[in-house]
């Protein structure tokens, strides 16, 4: 399904203006932020359906991807057991969810936890998604509230499913043995391509081979940088990867604001030694549209999701340095199994059992997706040493 030009053209124009104002080049993190979150135009800020089982062209479809809560309510029910334990262990009664999407996970947690939750707060920047969440969660009345920014102090259990992967990343490229930051420039037209150059000192890379003849297309261009990946990458071959300052800053902010409670973040990614493996030379940025994947983040801007895998070692280190205690790190499959996702499965229909298998099978979501947990550890609220249910078996914290 093609998005109407009224959505994409103003967004492309907005990005072009930003590139011009910045002197002809912007970092990929800024481009990604505008592509996803520009009010009224960005992928998550426009009035379109992103989440669901069925793509466009299928009856009842029109979505671009499916997340775990849409696959089966057992995802939220299993997570609720962990949340319930964390609420009791930390003496709190509030749940905070970041990036609540369709509201499916919130609904599952609210149904499962009932009066254990005094308040459920959703932090979501998208006005259109907030509207859908309000409709879905209307039955819980004032128990559910929405905010667009965090208060100076908060308490409770924080959950975030596929939040970190949507946070803008910076691209680093080693080309001919030299590290550069990969950003975005405006694509020249066919008639002027020989004269169009990136800013002084930069070089056009990768996308430069695609010479488009219209103005709404962008190209990658490299600039000198002192930035480096957190691990040395063996070999002198060309290498593209990401660093995650915004995701790490997000965790540090949580550690600063959360006075009592715990955090559980679920997403796809790797520990650092796998993330920066010499053979992972093309990076992890990818796009989702109509349940198909592609790697061209600069094409059809605003019409598709842009994500990057998570470096969980960086997330863990950011949390520890900011005062969090790491509760554990494991695969989504092991976490859900520890939380009882298979309890009573013999009594459920085959179709639901198939969906649950997608959550835990290694070749589906079970191994690619990971879960990391944190607890507040401070003088005001010292960590009591409780064993988080989801990491009771198969904890991989030692691999981070």
127 part of a folded domain: yes
Residue 212: its pLDDT value, please? 38
122 part of a folded domain: yes
Q: How many residues does the chain have?
A: 400
**Of 322 and 382, more confident:** 322
Dihedral over Cα of 297, 275, 53, 42: its sign: negative
What's the distance, CA 220 to chain centroid? Answer: 22
Q: For position 267, which CATH number holds?
A: 3.40.50.12710
Count other Cβ atoms within 10 Å, centred on residue 93. Answer: 16
Q: Is the pLDDT of residue 206 over 70?
A: no
Confidence of residue 378 (pLDDT cuts 50, 70, 90): confident
The model's pLDDT over 134-193, given as tens digits with 9 standing for 90+, comes to: 999 999 999 999 998 899 999 999 999 999 999 999 999 999 999 999 999 998 754 444
**Of 344 and 212, more confident:** 344
Residue 344: its pLDDT value, please? 85
What is the chain's mean pLDDT, rounded? 88
Contact in structure between 225 and 156 (CB atoms under 8 Å): no
% pLDDT > 70, the chain: 86
Q: Is the pLDDT of residue 374 over 50?
A: yes
Q: Is the pLDDT of residue 208 over 50?
A: no
Q: Is the pLDDT of residue 195 over 60?
A: no
The model's pLDDT over 285-294, given as tens digits with 9 standing for 90+, comes to: 999 887 688 9
Q: Is the pLDDT of residue 256 over 70?
A: yes
Residue found under tokens 């988080």: 388
Contact in structure between 241 and 170 (CB atoms under 8 Å): no
Tokens for 311, please give them: 């470096």
- pTM score of the predicted model: 0.90
Contact in structure between 218 and 188 (CB atoms under 8 Å): no
114 part of a folded domain: yes
Our count of domains for the chain comes to 1
Residue 212 burial class via C-beta count within 10 angstroms: exposed 0-12, middle 13-18, buried 19 and up: middle
201 part of a folded domain: no
13 part of a folded domain: no
27 part of a folded domain: no
The model's pLDDT over 267-278, given as tens digits with 9 standing for 90+, comes to: 999 999 999 999
207 part of a folded domain: no
Residue found under tokens 């994409």: 8
Give the Å distances, CA to CA, from 391 to 77, 356, 375, 383: 16, 19, 13, 16
Among 37-51, 57-71, 94-108, the range of highest mean pLDDT: 94-108
| Domain hosting residue 279, numbered range | 68-167+243-293+300-399
Give CA–CA dist 366/68, Å, rounded: 10
Residue 86: its pLDDT value, please? 98
Paired sense of beta strands 239-243 and 170-175, if any = antiparallel
The model's pLDDT over 108-133, given as tens digits with 9 standing for 90+, comes to: 999 999 999 999 999 987 777 888 89
Residue 367: its pLDDT value, please? 96
Residue 124: its pLDDT value, please? 87
100 part of a folded domain: yes
């Amino acid at each position: 399904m093609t998005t109407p030009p009224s959505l994409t053209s103003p967004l492309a124009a907005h990005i072009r203006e930003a590139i011009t104002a910045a002197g002809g080049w912007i970092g990929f993190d800024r481009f990604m932020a505008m592509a996803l979150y520009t009010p009224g135009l960005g992928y998550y800020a426009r009035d379109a359906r992103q989440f669901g089982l069925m793509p466009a062209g299928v009856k009842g479809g029109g979505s671009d991807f499916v997340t775990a809560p849409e696959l089966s309510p057992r995802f939220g029910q299993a997570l609720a057991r962990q949340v319930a334990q964390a609420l009791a262990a930390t003496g709190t009664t509030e749940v905070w969810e970041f990036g609540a999407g369709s509201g499916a996970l919130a609904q599952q947690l609210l149904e499962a936890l009932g009066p254990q939750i005094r308040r459920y707060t959703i932090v979501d920047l998208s006005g259109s998604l907030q509207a859908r969440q309000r409709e879905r969660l209307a039955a819980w009345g004032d128990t559910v509230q929405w905010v667009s920014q965090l208060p100076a102090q908060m308490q409770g259990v924080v959950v975030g499913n596929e939040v970190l992967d949507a946070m803008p990343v910076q691209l680093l490229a080693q080309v001919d043995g030299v590290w550069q930051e990969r950003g975005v420039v405006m694509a020249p037209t066919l008639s002027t391509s020989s004269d169009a150059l990136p800013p002084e000192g930069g070089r056009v890379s990768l996308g430069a081979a695609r010479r488009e003849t219209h103005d709404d297309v962008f190209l990658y261009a490299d600039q000198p940088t002192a930035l480096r990946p957190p691990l040395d990458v063996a070999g002198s071959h060309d290498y593209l990867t990401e660093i995650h300052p915004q995701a790490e800053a997000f965790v540090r902010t949580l550690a600063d604001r959360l006075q009592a409670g715990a955090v559980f973040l679920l997403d796809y990614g790797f520990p650092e030694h796998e993330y920066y493996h010499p053979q992972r030379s093309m990076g992890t940025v990818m796009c989702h549209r109509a349940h198909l994947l592609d790697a061209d983040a600069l094409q059809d801007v605003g019409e598709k999701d842009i994500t990057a895998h998570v470096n969980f070692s960086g997330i863990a280190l950011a949390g520890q340095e900011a005062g969090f205690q790491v509760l554990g790190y494991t695969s989504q499959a092991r976490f859900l199994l520890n939380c009882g996702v298979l309890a009573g499965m013999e009594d459920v229909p085959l179709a639901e059992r198939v969906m649950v298998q997608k959550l835990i099978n290694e070749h589906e979501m079970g191994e690619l997706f990971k879960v990391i947990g944190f607890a507040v550890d401070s003088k005001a609220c010292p960590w009591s040493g409780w064993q988080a249910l989801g990491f009771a078996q198969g904890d991989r914290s030692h691999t981070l």
